[in-house]
Amino acid sequence: MSTDTTASQAPREPKCVFCGRCLEVCPLFAATGKEELSPRAKFALNTALDDPDHDIAAKAALRLTGKCLSCGKCEKACPNKLCAPRLVTEMRAANPNIRSVLWGLWVGQAKVLWPMMATLSRFAPHFRYGRLESMLSGLKALDAGKAAEPWVKAVSFEACGRGRKAVVFPGCVASHVRPQWNETAGKMLRGMGFDLLPNPGFTCCACTLGHAGLKEPQRQMQLKNVQAWRDAGRPEIVVFCATCRCGLKGYADAELGWELGERERWVHALTPLSSLAGKAVYEVRDNAPDKVHYHAPCHGAGAGQDQKFLSGLLGKRLSTRGKKNLCCGFGGSLKLSAPELSDQVAKRCLEFYAPEQGELMLSGCAGCVIQLRAGAPAGIGVGHWLEIIS
Amino acid sequence: MSTLPHSLLRSLQAVFPGDALILGQEETLTFGKDASRKFAQPLAVVRPENTEQCSELLRLAQEWRVPIYARGRATNVVGGCVPTTPGIVVSTARMAKILDIDGDDFVAVCQPGVVTGELQEAAKAKGLLYAPDPASAQFSSIAGNIAMNAGGLRAVKYGCTRDWVLGVEAVMPGGTVLRLGSRCHKDVAGLDLARLFVGSEGTLGLITEATLKLLPLPESQATLLAVFPNDDQALAAMRDVFRAGILPTAMEFMSGDVLWALGRLGSVPWPEGSKAALLISIDGSREALKHDLERVRRAVEPNAPSLLEQASTPEEEDALWSHRRQVNQAVFVYGPDKSSDDIAVPRGRVGETVKRISEIARNLNVKIITYGHLGDGNIHVNYVFDASDQDESRRIKDAKAQVLELTLSLGGTITGEHGVGLSKMGWIARKVGPDALAAMHAVKAALDPLGIMNPGKGY
């Protein structure tokens, strides 16, 4: 019954076989029941665009395929490892549209826009910002007044950082809205004996620009970050935002004028803060909530360092219950292009965790924190895990 | 009908407000396709949330003679939900709740769009088993499984979907809602119309609820992966397991071609160049399992497997079975196009069948890959080719015809679990004969007199 395999072993370009596995993991489909937003629908539309038998309007197809959270879960589920976010990025790169431009403005000029939006958001109920309104509600949620109260105290550190130079990569949120995250990370690293260098001029990780299909601005930011690292003497880069970590790791796949061996050195230099945070002794105070829900981000969860650290720190207090198609809804450019869909995804996510009054939700991704904090009911704290440490 | 009449459209908008009705060509495009990769553009798509909406839809559809196509996750590979005659696709994505799992009645009640794997998990959490386990369980829907009478990996011991359906709620053309069967495990009152819907391929009515039989969850399960240097040894091992008096929950065969293709998708436990493998699962109490496992090993080992690996934890089990679940997609490594048959033959004819299929492949110089549920005689036959190569396409067509001829000559059937859909329509008359086919048409005409339910499919 076996037939000769040698004749057909030449590699072929994989294509969507419409098996339906992506529907199982797509958070957007799970939250909306809209199959037209599923990964396989995106591949079908893209194929139809090139097929003269289909009378598909390119603009409408782009608008529809652009509704993607860029979570990457479909790629892992797909037997052919097709990636809808990559398809969307490629389609956008070939057909830049206004949504992408807006995102370019938002992230590319974060220094100007983030604080401005955070300020504006306080007055959001009095103004009509159209699609920006939903995004602003996320920023408003990051107001200092809603920060989680610390209830874990680091009492001693293992001197694992002695003789090691490090720099913290703060990312957009800590740079402009939540400087406390950066400060706490710095204190922890100094406590471990690291020679902590000042921020050498890092900008945004540019992950979001990539999702938006803005390849050239993304590359410019990547180049700037790599140069800043070189200028600082190629120290370890300690990262506390999972999405930033994912974005920075992706630099190794880009042509950024790497010197010999430098690409590997870059990847090796990227260190999740949570992988170091376990090397301290902590004291949990009386004001600790009874239950803490951990939300695993879609990007950059890596080897689960955040969850591992928090499990060790919080023990049975931490619930790590998850689901394969769960997402906060912040990713991709959905927050801007279709905020109502993004909100639906967030709502489903919060309903899954079903936190009760006085309980806390923690994540290791700035985007997840923004999104979940904006949608969480009153009395439910949401924060980055750094916020519980004093 | 190339577009829906305005008056009907207005009525549909009233029943399906907001995004529950979609009409744009870009939005509806994906609903015209299933895992057969056949395509036809729908006129509209509706997303009901309850039986009342379905009833109103079928009243309107009957009135306007508009074809209706039920769609779960569209994982069927025979074009079963492709809207070949322009009509309305009914997505069950928003009717996807498990309504009840009752450990006293041993019954589950589900809406049609529930994913089978979710039902299995929910039942398991209560110490219960929903036994049917199609390879697509994690991403196919329960009503789709019912419509196609899905079989799967555990069918050798537990049977197919039909054996687990106690009741069905179905909306009929015109809008009548039938509640068929009951929560009783034994119910012989009247004609068994509930099970008539099993395998009906959406041609009779719209399934809006299913009542399913559950079992106590077996205490433990174990799987053996046995890899062999040739097919004959694998087939002999399979025969010897049955002769040892063991009824496995699953007995799957993978040919050398399949093993090679799976190796291209990711890491596999077997060495490169392996020619045949069996996956054998058994379940039961912990004590009995230990004993039975030893008997399976004793039956397999004389056939000289080159690798014998045992999975005893759920994680190890999942790792072994995940390979099998990916076969359908993995074989695309051999070519961009695939045509599938899922023949079944009497169990005693399996060895002869696979050998003669191999001969057909050699004679016509085509790629035919066989694998599947050899334990119950159900063999998946995949023809992988390049459709742009006209000569190869012609030879594949000849090969398919020869395989189906062979199957019928051995007392087999043209489909063991995938269904007829569009793909096997040319063979159904040969399989069942003219009188049986006329009887099927008479049943259809009685329940769907205007022929609006999934026209052109099944029989």
Summarize the confidence of residues B341-345 as an average pLDDT: 95
Nearest to B34 among A5, A8, A18 (CB): A18
Q: Above 60 in pLDDT, residue A127?
A: no
The class level of CATH for B220-328 reads alpha beta
What per-residue confidence (pLDDT) applies to A105? Answer: 57
The reply to whether residue B75 touches residue A19, judged by beta carbons under 8 angstroms, is: yes
A329: left (phi over 0), alpha (psi -120 to 50) or beta: left
What per-residue confidence (pLDDT) applies to A332? Answer: 73
Using a CB-CB cut-off of 8 Å, the residues of chain B touching A34 are 19, 47, 93
Instruction: List, edge to edge, every strand of the sheet that includes B98-102.
Output: B98-102, B107-110, B206-213, B165-171, B177-181
Chain B residue at shortest CA distance from A56: B26
- Residue A148: band (very low, low, confident or very high) from pLDDT cuts 50, 70, 90: low
What per-residue confidence (pLDDT) applies to B24? Answer: 94
Distance from CA of A354 to the nearest CA of B (A): 18
Q: Above 80 in pLDDT, residue B202?
A: yes
Q: Does B430 touch chain A (CB under 8 A)?
A: no
Summarize the confidence of residues A255-262 as an average pLDDT: 95
Chain B residue at shortest CA distance from A41: B30
Q: Above 90 in pLDDT, residue A289?
A: yes
Distance from CA of A21 to the nearest CA of B (A): 6
What per-residue confidence (pLDDT) applies to A124? Answer: 37
What per-residue confidence (pLDDT) applies to A121? Answer: 46
Q: Above 50 in pLDDT, residue A304?
A: yes
Distance from CA of B451 to the nearest CA of A (A): 27
Q: Which of B3, B23, B29, B358 to mutate to test the interface with A (most CBs of A within 10 A)?
A: B29
Beta bridge partners of B101: B108
Distance from CA of B91 to the nearest CA of A (A): 9
What per-residue confidence (pLDDT) applies to A122? Answer: 42
The reply to whether residue A2 touches residue B257, judged by beta carbons under 8 angstroms, is: yes
> Domains along chain A?
15-95 (no CATH), 144-148+284-388 (3.40.50)
Summarize the confidence of residues A90-110 as an average pLDDT: 61
Mean pLDDT check: name the lowest of A171-185, B230-244, B389-403.
A171-185
If DSSP codes are grouped into helix, strand and coil, which group holds residue B272? coil
Q: Does B328 touch chain A (CB under 8 A)?
A: yes
The reply to whether residue A8 touches residue B231, judged by beta carbons under 8 angstroms, is: no
Tell me the CA distances in angstroms from B287 to A203, B218, B221, B280, B309, one per residue in order. Answer: 62, 12, 11, 18, 20
Q: Does B115 touch chain A (CB under 8 A)?
A: yes
Chain A residue at shortest CA distance from B74: A20
Q: Does B367 touch chain A (CB under 8 A)?
A: yes
Summarize the confidence of residues A59-88 as an average pLDDT: 89
Of the candidates B147, B154, B325, the one whose C-alpha atom is nearest the C-alpha of residue B251 is B154
Using a CB-CB cut-off of 8 Å, the residues of chain A touching B138 are 21, 24
Question: Percent of chain B at pLDDT above 90?
Answer: 87
Using a CB-CB cut-off of 8 Å, the residues of chain B touching A64 are 26-27
Using a CB-CB cut-off of 8 Å, the residues of chain B touching A48 are 29
A/B interface, count of CB pairs below 8 Å = 119
What per-residue confidence (pLDDT) applies to A133? Answer: 54
Distance from CA of B256 to the nearest CA of A (A): 6
What per-residue confidence (pLDDT) applies to A12? Answer: 56
Q: Above 90 in pLDDT, residue B259?
A: yes
If DSSP codes are grouped into helix, strand and coil, which group holds residue A168? strand
**Higher pLDDT residue, A106 or B346?**
B346
Residue in the block written with tokens 């069996």: B278
Chain A residues with at least one Cβ partner in B under 8 Å:
1-3, 5, 7-9, 12, 14-15, 17-21, 23-24, 29, 33-36, 38, 40-41, 44-45, 48, 54-57, 60-61, 64, 79-80
Q: Above 80 in pLDDT, residue A139?
A: no
Of the candidates B421, B428, B446, the one whose C-alpha atom is nearest the C-alpha of residue B84 is B421
**What's the burial of A130, exposed, middle or buried (CB within 10 Å: 0-12/13-18/19+)?**
exposed
What is the distance between the alpha carbons of residues B459 and B453, in angstroms, rounded to a whole number? 13
Nearest to A17 among B37, B73, B139 (CB): B37
Distance from CA of B255 to the nearest CA of A (A): 6
The reply to whether residue A2 touches residue B335, judged by beta carbons under 8 angstroms, is: no
The reply to whether residue A33 touches residue B94, judged by beta carbons under 8 angstroms, is: yes
Q: Above 60 in pLDDT, residue A131?
A: no
**How do B107-110 and B128-129 pair as beta strands?**
unpaired
Summarize the confidence of residues A295-318 as an average pLDDT: 88
What is the distance between the alpha carbons of residues A229 and A199, in angstroms, rounded to a whole number? 9
CATH: 3.30.70.20, 3.30.70.2740, 3.40.50.150, 3.40.50.620. Which one for B335-416? Answer: 3.30.70.2740
Q: Above 80 in pLDDT, residue A111?
A: no
- Residue A211: band (very low, low, confident or very high) from pLDDT cuts 50, 70, 90: confident
Residue B28 has φ and ψ, to the nearest 5°, of -85, -10
What is the distance between the alpha carbons of residues B421 and B427, in angstroms, rounded to a whole number? 11
**How do A360-363 and B21-22 pair as beta strands?**
unpaired
The reply to whether residue A56 touches residue B26, judged by beta carbons under 8 angstroms, is: yes
Q: Which of B30, B45, B353, B360 to mutate to test the interface with A (most CBs of A within 10 A)?
A: B30
The one-letter code for the residue type at B295 is R
What is the distance between the alpha carbons of residues A74 and A42, in angstroms, rounded to a whole number? 11
The DSSP string of A283-297 is: EE-TT--S-EEEE--
The reply to whether residue B26 touches residue A57, judged by beta carbons under 8 angstroms, is: yes
What is the distance between the alpha carbons of residues B10 and B274, in angstroms, rounded to a whole number? 61
- Residue A62: band (very low, low, confident or very high) from pLDDT cuts 50, 70, 90: confident
**Higher pLDDT residue, B91 or A99?**
B91
Q: For B97-141, how does the pLDDT look when each residue is reduced to its tens digit (9 = 90+)?
A: 999 999 999 999 999 999 999 999 999 999 999 999 998 999 999
If DSSP codes are grouped into helix, strand and coil, which group holds residue A115? helix
Instruction: Considering chain B, tell me which residue range(s) the CATH 3.30.70.2190 domain(s) occupy.
Output: 220-328
Q: What is the mean pLDDT of chain B?
A: 95
Fold classification of B98-216 (topology level): 3.30.465
Instruction: Considering chain B, tell me which residue range(s) the CATH 3.30.70.2740 domain(s) occupy.
Output: 335-416
Chain A residue at shortest CA distance from B364: A3
The reply to whether residue A20 touches residue B260, judged by beta carbons under 8 angstroms, is: no
Looking at this predicted complex, what is its ipTM?
Answer: 0.90
Six-digit token string for A304: 């689960």
Of the candidates A228, A223, A285, A208, the one whose C-alpha atom is nearest the C-alpha of residue A256 is A223
What is the distance between the alpha carbons of residues A317 and A311, in angstroms, rounded to a whole number? 8
The reply to whether residue A20 touches residue B27, judged by beta carbons under 8 angstroms, is: no
What is the distance between the alpha carbons of residues B36 and A19, in angstroms, rounded to a whole number? 9
Q: Above 50 in pLDDT, residue A274?
A: yes
Provide the strand spans (E) within B165-306: 165-171, 177-181, 206-213, 215-216, 220-228, 250-255, 276-284
**How do B206-213 and B107-110 pair as beta strands?**
antiparallel
Q: Above 50 in pLDDT, residue A123?
A: no
The answer to whether residues B171 and B426 touch, using CB atoms and an 8 Å cutoff, is no
Helix B350-364 to helix B231-243 angle (10° resolution) is 160
Tell me the CA distances in angstroms from A77 to A10, B8, B22, B121, B362, one per residue in order. Answer: 24, 40, 27, 19, 35
Q: For B285-340, how does the pLDDT look when each residue is reduced to its tens digit (9 = 90+)?
A: 999 999 999 999 999 999 999 999 999 788 898 889 889 888 877 898 899 888 88
What per-residue confidence (pLDDT) applies to A51? Answer: 83
